[in-house]
Structure 1
């Protein structure tokens, strides 16, 4: 049992860590979130390892993040400009990344989870619904609302998407 869990952690931690970061918007909180989810998953490993353990861990991360969010409402201050400019000119990519993170922070936790799982993790609506324990219709509604809100609060992301798409 321990060997299969260790193998799972080694193989899937990078992807799960990125998902945790997108859910929290903070590297340290993402590490804590992933560690908490993996600890919980380890306790249930015998039951989940034959199914889809990655979906289980993502679901645990989502529920844990919502729980943390409900307990404490962080006072975040969003900056309009990055605090420093890198020597190499990665400013456009950095600005875009900061815009994405800032925009995601303005979504509700459920909308953020749907956007991350649906568009970043590239899960189907049915897989997102299973991961979040809701219906496909709920996923569609949250996805629609989140995309509409993102377009309103961060129009520069729409422009960046259009500029980067192949023609």
Structure 2
């Protein structure tokens, strides 16, 4: 009996991995939200957030996980965005170092700003874990729209991210 149950585990794992790879999240439509939250760490993320902000899809944006040495003017120059946009509408979060701390930094920012809807921008392969970690700290207080930046991840990136996602789910189950 135990052998049969244990033989199902690799099958469930393999099917889960296949689903994870096949159905990567996609970019969101033009839905308007109160704010945009961009998680640093991958190409195209900040640019996607800026595009949505400039299009009027939100009134403010948080870039979470920015290196402590980076100043708004430097980021404006790197992204070819007017510094006025950074001055009025973009906050840089310097506290986050990983996905879990991105969620904590974002939750604190959302609470301070009293926003109830956000557009979460991260890479397609990272979206599931980012949304899950954010949902854990928000407790349903904020409506999150995932806006995935399309990428072309290799097998190693997908394999690693799938396991990080599984570990975050297990950590939540055991109360970590």
Name the TM-score class by shorter chain: under 0.3
TM-score (norm 1): 0.28
TM-score (norm 2): 0.27
Q: Which protein is richer in strand relative to its size? A: 2
